[in-house]
C-alpha cells in the first residue's frame, strides 16, 4: 500500500469515527437537521484536499458498512408504553397470520423448537406451543412477559418466557430450529440483533423477521432509518440465505399519525 493510500485509509477511518460519534439516530428527523448540517460542513472541510479521490456516494457506502442501524424506540421507551396499562398492540389475543403461516414453514423444515423475539402478550408463542412446538419467548419489557405468562397459563400452553434483549440473547449457540420476530427488531441495533439470531439458530434453521423500514409522519417528513438494499446486504453478510423477501407500504396513518414501509424476510441458516 502506497503512502498516499495509507493516508487516505486513515482519513476514511477517522471519518467513520466522527460519523459514529456525531450522527444521532434518525439523522433525517427535523430536530437533528442542525447537527446534520454542521457535520456536513465539517466533512466538506475535512475532505477538501480529497475531492477527486473520495465521492459522497463512496463515503455513504463506507458509513453504511461500518455504522450500526439505529431506531428511536429504545428498551426504556418500550417499557414506558406499559406504564399506564396494556398498549394497543398487546390487546389482541388472536394469533397473527404471519405466525400461522410460519408454522407451515417450520413443519416443512421439520423444526421442533422456536424462539419468539418480542412476544408482547404471548399470542403467537401460545400458538406455537399449542401446535406442538417447543416454544421460548422473550421481551425487553418485564410487564409484557408477565402478561404473556398469564395468557399462556390461561391457554394451558407451556412456554419458556424470559426478560431479555435481542442484542444479547441469553441462549447457547445453535439452540433453536426457528426464530420469529414481528414488528420489533427495527427498534434494535440490527447488526447486533441479527448476529445474535444467526448465532442461536441451528444449522439449516429458519427465521421470519418483520420490521419497519421507514416512517412517514402526518406532520413531518419521512424518517428514513433503514434502506431495503442495505438491510438485505446486512443479512447476507452475516451468512443468512434470504429465501423470500418483500416490502410493503402502509396506506393509512395509524392512531399515532404514522405509516410505515414494511420489510419482510424469510431466512435460512
Q: How confident is the model at residue 31 (pLDDT cuts 50, 70, 90)?
A: very low
More confident residue, 254 or 22: 254
- Total-model pTM: 0.68
- CATH classification number, 75-268, choose in 3.40.50.150, 3.20.170.30, 3.30.70.60, 3.40.250.10: 3.40.50.150
Q: How confident is the model at residue 156 (pLDDT cuts 50, 70, 90)?
A: very high
Place of cell 427488531: 185
- pLDDT tens digit string along 168-226? 999 999 999 999 999 889 888 899 999 999 999 999 999 999 998 877 777 666 555 67
Q: Is the pLDDT of residue 41 over 50?
A: yes
Q: Average pLDDT, whole number, for the chain? A: 78
Q: Which helix or strand (DSSP H or E) is residue 79 part of?
A: helix 75-81
What integer pLDDT is reported at residue 47 of this predicted model? Answer: 61
Please count the CA atoms within 13 angstroms of the CA of 198 that sit on its side-chain side.
Answer: 16
What integer pLDDT is reported at residue 240 of this predicted model? Answer: 97
Give every CB contact of residue 64 below 8 A, 6+ residues apart in sequence.
227, 230
String of DSSP letters for 95-156: PPHHHHHHHHHHHHTT--EEEEES-TTSHHHHHHHHTT-EEEEEES-HHHHHHHHHHHHHTT
Pairing of strands 113-117, 134-139: parallel
More confident residue, 130 or 220: 130
The span from the CA of 232 to the CA of 190, in Å, is: 11
Structural domain spans, the chain: 3-66, 75-268
From its phi and psi, is residue 240 left (phi > 0), alpha (psi between -120 and 50) or beta? beta
Q: Which residues pair with 94 in a beta bridge?
A: none
The span from the CA of 209 to the CA of 185, in Å, is: 8
Amino acid at each position: 500500500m502506497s503512502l498516499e493510500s495509507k493516508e487516505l485509509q486513515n482519513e476514511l477511518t477517522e471519518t467513520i469515527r466522527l460519523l459514529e460519534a456525531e450522527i444521532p439516530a434518525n439523522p433525517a428527523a427535523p430536530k437533528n437537521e442542525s447537527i446534520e448540517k454542521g457535520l456536513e460542513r465539517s466533512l466538506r472541510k475535512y475532505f477538501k484536499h480529497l475531492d477527486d479521490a473520495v465521492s459522497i456516494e463512496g463515503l455513504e457506502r463506507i458509513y453504511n458498512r461500518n455504522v450500526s442501524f439505529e431506531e428511536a424506540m429504545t428498551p426504556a421507551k418500550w417499557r414506558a408504553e406499559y406504564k399506564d396499562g396494556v398498549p394497543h398492540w398487546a390487546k389482541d389475543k388472536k394469533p397473527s397470520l404471519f405466525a400461522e403461516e410460519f408454522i407451515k414453514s417450520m413443519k416443512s423444515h421439520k423444526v421442533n423448537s422456536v424462539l419468539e423475539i418480542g412476544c408482547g402478550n404471548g399470542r403467537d408463542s401460545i400458538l406455537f406451543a399449542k401446535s406442538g412446538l417447543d416454544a421460548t419467548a422473550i421481551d425487553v419489557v418485564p410487564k409484557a412477559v408477565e402478561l404473556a405468562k398469564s395468557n399462556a397459563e390461561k391457554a394451558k400452553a407451556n412456554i419458556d418466557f424470559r426478560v431479555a434483549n435481542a442484542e444479547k440473547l441469553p441462549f447457547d449457540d445453535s439452540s433453536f430450529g426457528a426464530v420469529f420476530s414481528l414488528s420489533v427488531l427495527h427498534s434494535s441495533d440490527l447488526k447486533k440483533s441479527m448476529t445474535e439470531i444467526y448465532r442461536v439458530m441451528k444449522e439449516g434453521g429458519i427465521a421470519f423477521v418483520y420490521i419497519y423500514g421507514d416512517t412517514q409522519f402526518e406532520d413531518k417528513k419521512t424518517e428514513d432509518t433503514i434502506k431495503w438494499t442495505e438491510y438485505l446486504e446486512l443479512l447476507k453478510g452475516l451468512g443468512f440465505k434470504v429465501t423470500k423477501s418483500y416490502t410493503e407500504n402502509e396506506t393509512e396513518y395509524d392512531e399515532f399519525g404514522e405509516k410505515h414501509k414494511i420489510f419482510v424476510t424469510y431466512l435460512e441458516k
